[in-house]
Amino acid sequence: MGKTKKQNAPWYFLVLLILAGESVFILPFVLARVFRPTVLESFRLDNTELGLCFSIYGMVAVISYLFGGPLADRFPPRKLIATGLWMTAAGGMLYATFPGFNTLQILYGYWGFTTIFLCWAPMIKATRIWGGSASQGKAFGFLDGGRGLVGALFGAMGVFIFSLFLNIDLAEPSPAENREAFRYVILVSAGVVSVVGILVWVFMKLDPKQEKAIVLERISIPQIKQVMRLPAVWLLMVIILCAYVGYKITDVFSLYAQDVMRYDQVESAQVGMLLLFIRPVIGVLIGILADRTQITFWLFVSFVVSFFGAILFASGIISDTSTLLFFISIMVVATGVYAARSLYFAVMERGRIPLVLTGTAVGLISLVGYTPDIFAGPAMGVLLDRSPGEAGHQDVFWMLAFFSLLGGIAALVYHRLYRKVEV
């Protein structure tokens, strides 16, 4: 029951999953990651207030993980994902009006529902289906790497549109000019997300017999208990929590470029965009490598790399005159964080979690694993606002070091339990 059959979904099925899996997060997260200084200025927010918006998203998301997981075991992935994309794009129309702080919090709560309740567990389950029994590392590595590439392309498109509509000396644009240029970035992004929803609805179809085999008529209490008895589920809660803290912390790199390296807003956005281009390379390479060796071992290694990268930033040795060291350190942190993100669901197969109950398992795991959506944003905001400049950023990276250490311990335990393939 714990094994999936040989990969039998077409190649474009994964391509559509990649497009949908990143597009749905463009409006709530990717734009804020690439354009963080611009978002703070345009919406008249400080770091703590932006963190609180992410926290509202996270609180809604936690409930959505719990109930959206079983939903993914009841309905075909295509219908749920397409609906989530259209509803998320609709929220972009409100986002483009630059609402006040209170309305923005409501919008982020709405996005917590549309992106997670409708899209998250179906995406993970559909990826397991594509990977089959022999290519889970490749499936999830390609998924996360491909999502990174899609995010990078969105970021590049956003920076291009932003620069195009400024149409003035980019070093000294006014807040009003920044806001108007960013409005076009939001509107174009929302339009693309809507188109991806149409593509998913029309083309991401499975064979009727296969679709019936992965859908349950109902989810029973004994099935939920069966999932909760698996050690892999409890370990993945800790592993994903720690890895996701690292992923959230990558949001501050564009702000670090502005605060510490003294870059302007366009240059800072380009640093955020660089991260998006690193992610697909790491995802693809680690996915291929993991399938050929020990996938659980590489999950552990990813936390080790993330820990040492965090120490480089937390130590304070990076300054506005050490440009090369700055980019090397970004590479180290990004390698660890993105490798962990690519692999943590890929080890579900090794942990003997039944395919047909993937949605339920993902819901339970994510209930704990994605709580950083609640606390990471406010925590980073408080640390950055309490100690403006380099000191606040050092505190944030000490936070990353702690969670990388904890995640590495959990990943090592997982490796020791499941490194041998069940025959």
- Residue 171 confidence (pLDDT): 57
| Rounded CA separation 108/328 (Å) | 33
- Residue 273 confidence (pLDDT): 73
| Rounded CA separation 263/171 (Å) | 10
Q: Is the dihedral of CA 358, 363, 368, 374 positive or negative?
A: positive
- The CB-side HSE value for 101 (13 A sphere, CA atoms) comes to 11
Size of the chain in residues? 423
- Residue 353 confidence (pLDDT): 81
Residue type, 58: G
DSSP 8-state code for residue 357: G
Residue 216's closest CA among 224, 205, 225? Answer: 224
- Give pLDDT tens digits along the chain (423 positions): 444 444 456 778 889 999 998 899 999 988 887 788 889 989 998 888 888 898 899 889 888 988 887 787 778 888 899 999 999 999 999 999 999 999 999 999 999 999 999 988 888 888 887 776 666 777 888 888 888 788 778 888 888 888 887 765 555 677 788 888 899 999 999 999 999 999 999 888 766 665 555 555 556 677 778 788 889 999 999 999 999 999 999 888 888 888 888 887 777 877 877 877 788 888 888 888 877 778 889 999 999 999 999 999 998 888 777 788 988 999 999 999 999 998 988 888 887 887 777 778 888 898 899 888 788 888 888 898 888 888 899 999 999 999 999 999 999 999 998 876 553
State the alpha helices, DSSP H only, in 174-322: 175-203, 208-213, 221-228, 231-249, 253-259, 265-292, 295-314
Residue type, 346: A
- Residue 213 confidence (pLDDT): 55
| Rounded CA separation 136/128 (Å) | 7
Contacts (Cβ under 8 Å, ≥6 apart) of 136:
128, 291, 295, 346, 347, 348, 349, 350
- Residue 212 confidence (pLDDT): 56
- Residue 159 confidence (pLDDT): 82
Residue type, 411: A
- Residue 1 confidence (pLDDT): 40
| Rounded CA separation 27/189 (Å) | 7
User: Does the model's pTM come out above 0.85?
Assistant: no
E strand or H helix at 29: none
- What residue ranges define each of the domains in the chain, with the CATH number in brackets? 11-418 (1.20.1250.20)
- Residue 267 confidence (pLDDT): 78
Q: In a 10 Å sphere around its CB, with 0-12 CB exposed, 13-18 middle and 19+ buried, how is residue 210 labelled?
A: middle
| Rounded CA separation 184/93 (Å) | 11
- Residue tagged 């926290």 (tokens): 55
Q: In a 10 Å sphere around its CB, with 0-12 CB exposed, 13-18 middle and 19+ buried, how is residue 3 labelled?
A: exposed
